[in-house]
Amino acid sequence: MAMKEIRLHGRGGQGAVKAAQLVVRAAVTGGKQAQFIPFFGVERKGSPVFGYLRVADEPIRRKTQIYTPDMLLILDDSLVMLPETYAGLKEGGVIIINSTKSAEELNIPQQAGTVAEVDATAIAEKHLGRNIPNTTILGAFGKVSDLVDTETLFSTIEEIFGKENRKCAEEAYEAVTIIRK
């Protein structure tokens, strides 16, 4: 497998960093190479947070930002207003987004391939009582992508964040809808 580059977009407090670190852990557990670099702006709750996640079979050498992602993982749909959110998405690139809006409302770019949507906020609030959609959106990630083994991902979520977070991921795995193919 050639290296896959995933860019995360979230807001401070949503747990984007922890989610990506979980993917790295699950990938490494499965014998793959993986790397995550968070990019903090001003560190405060609610401000936009970026993250750069790479998964590959071969060692990953570059430690740079991601300019042409294979996949976008968007934890907050208000971020699609920012030009940098969809910037550089590869032709046929995958978008996984925490939203209930239509593809038109989300202004999905022309070049996007599969677009998967899940109401991660509602699922997280149901199980955790708070809008921390990180482990939930990983359920959608597990369904849409085959970069990491789903059971390894779910057991890693349970190991680090407990049973309720695993339930979030499992529910999102079932609830995710493909709004464009």
Using the rule CB under 8 A, is 74 a contact of another protein?
Answer: no
Q: Which segment (4-12, 16-24, 76-84, 134-142) binds another protein by CB under 8 A?
A: 16-24
Q: Is 63 in the site for another protein (CB under 8 A)?
A: yes
Instruction: Note whether 102 binds another protein by CB under 8 A.
Output: no
Q: Which of residues 82-101 bind another protein (CB under 8 A)?
A: none
CA–CA separation, 51 vs 73, rounded Å?
9
Exactly one of 11, 15, 16, 35 binds another protein (CB under 8 A); that residue is: 35
- CB nearer to another protein: give 25 or 167: 25
Distance of closest approach, residue 27 Cβ to another protein, in angstroms = 8
For the chain, what is the radius of gyration of the CA atoms? 15
User: Applying CB under 8 A, which of residues 21, 98, 99, 121 lies at the interface with another protein?
Assistant: 21
Which residue carries 């978008």 as its tokens?
95
d(CA 31, CA 8): 23
What is the closest distance, in whole angstroms, from the C-beta atom of residue 9 to another protein in the complex?
17
What is residue 145's DSSP assignment?
A: -
CB 61 within 8 Å of CB 40: no
CB 24 within 8 A of CB 35: yes
- Is residue 164 exposed (0-12), middle (13-18) or buried (19+ Cβ within 10 Å)? middle
Q: Which residue of 5, 10, 19, 36 would you call a contact of another protein, by CB under 8 A? A: 36
Q: Where does this chain bind another protein (CB under 8 A)?
A: 20-21, 24-25, 28, 33-40, 60-65, 67
